[in-house]
Amino acid sequence: MLVLPSVSRIVRLVAHPDGALRPEHFEIAEVPVQPPTPNEVLVCNRWFRVSISTRLMASKGAQSIKGIPFPPLNLGDTLADGAIGEVVQAPAESDLHPGDLVLHGFGWREYATVPQQDCVRIDARGVDPAVYLGHGWTAYAALTHGVQVHDGDVVFVSSGAGAIGSMAGQIARKLGAGRVIGSTGSEEKARWMKAELGYDEVVIRGATPITQQLAQAAPDGIDVYVDMVGGEPLQAAASLARHGARFVLLGALSAELAAEGAEKLAPVELDTFQLIVRGVTLRGYSACEDDRDGFAEWVRWLSRWQHEGKIISPSSRFQGIEQGPFALSEACAGNLKGVVLVEL
């Protein structure tokens, strides 16, 4: 039985980052634990996810970005992200009970009052929290519902060590890819990607031009591209696309994580003559918006692949809410691998 404290801690934005995001842009504050209203559930959070999209949400001009899937953050706002927590108090008529574990969107706080309809009960005891909070689901949806992978395809995944990318490379292989190539920011990550995630080759941003590196890694071109970055790797993928290649565009890290500050626009110059001649398909895809019902399908496949010992759910883990801002700044600086989780 949980003893309810009178106050708990949250993380809120105190300065909009201009340039690199730093822990000082956030503060840990103590606030009273709010009793839930009749339609709310009081949850004691156990884990929350740290997403690099928070940098864009926290940037000054975020309000003016059309169509971003997350609410922009104003100064003083509490951050939010996916979380797993234990129900403390639930409406009598709900099917939730104290002690149940639920998935919800109010991370970055020790206790959350969550609208009842936003709580999803999960059977997560003994299960790696990265299964529920990680981005394997996004990668799976992109590679099954966004594009299709055919047997023997050459697949390129940008930001291939990141939250989505670390799963996308492995899933592409499970779906029949013959050769899987990733991109990353360091030699150390490249070695880890080959050893742990099964990438055949890895190209490194900031070294020689990516088109040149990709041409060496995929001399006959690529069939599928999972784009987390935009910019240079997208140009490289377009220039090496084989006939009938399929691109699924998920993110624009080159703009979101630009060194000089999160950019609102992610422009890129592509040779559209070549895309037309080779019949290349480019599809922008949002796993949440385009495919809300496939999560259960993903969890079934993941448990089967995990049972066979053929897939891992990489994560970088931190302990305690006070580590959240540091975890976020490290993630944005490219120093972490897989999904970033904070345990409370």
Ligand X SMILES: NC(=O)c1ccc[n+]([C@@H]2O[C@H](COP(=O)([O-])OP(=O)(O)OC[C@H]3O[C@@H](n4cnc5c(N)ncnc54)[C@H](OP(=O)(O)O)[C@@H]3O)[C@@H](O)[C@H]2O)c1
- Cβ proximity to ligand X: between 69 and 309 the closer is 69
Residue 131 has a CB neighbour count (10 Å cut-off) of: 19
From candidates 36, 82, 134, 165, binder to ligand X by CB under 6 A = 165
Strands 201-204 and 339-343: unpaired
From 9, 104, 179, 189, residue interacting with ligand X (rule: CB under 6 A): 189
d(CA 16, CA 5): 31
Q: How many residues bind ligand X (CB under 6 A)?
A: 32
Report the residue from 17, 36, 185, 314 that binds ligand X according to the rule CB under 6 A.
185
Is residue 331 part of the contact set for ligand X (CB under 6 A)? yes
287 contacts ligand X (rule: CB under 6 A): yes
Least distance between ligand X and beta carbon 266 (Å): 9
| Nearer Cβ to ligand X (85/146) | 146
* Spatial distance between the Cα atoms of 243 and 163, rounded to a whole number of angstroms: 29
Least distance (Å) between residue 159 CB and ligand X: 4
From edge to edge, which strands make up the β-sheet containing 241-249?
201-204, 179-184, 154-157, 222-227, 241-249, 281-284
Question: Per CB under 6 A, which region of 24-32, 207-215, 266-274, 285-293 contacts ligand X?
Answer: 285-293
3 state DSSP class of 291: coil
Binding mask 220-259 for ligand X (x = CB under 6 A): --------xx--------------------xxxxx-xxx-
Residue 313 lies near ligand X (rule: CB under 6 A): no
At 88, list the tokens: 């403390």
Angle between helices 165-174 and 187-197 (to 10 degrees): 40
133 touching ligand X, by CB under 6 A: no
Judged by CB, which is closer to ligand X: 36, or 338?
338
Angle of helix 231-239 relative to helix 210-217, nearest 10 degrees, comes to: 40
Count Cβ atoms within 10 A of the Cβ of residue 23 and give its class: 0-12 exposed, 13-18 middle, 19 or more buried.
middle
- Determine how many CB atoms are found less than 10 A away from the CB of residue 186: 16
Provide, rounded to whole angstroms, the least separation between the CB of residue 30 and ligand X. Answer: 29
CB of 9 to ligand X, least distance (A): 24
185 Rama sector, left if φ>0, alpha if ψ -120 to 50, beta otherwise? alpha
Which of 192, 316, 334, 341 is close enough to bind ligand X by CB under 6 A?
A: 334
Q: Which residues lie near ligand X (CB under 6 A)?
A: 51-53, 135, 138, 159, 161-165, 184-185, 189, 205, 228-229, 250-254, 256-258, 285-288, 331, 334, 336
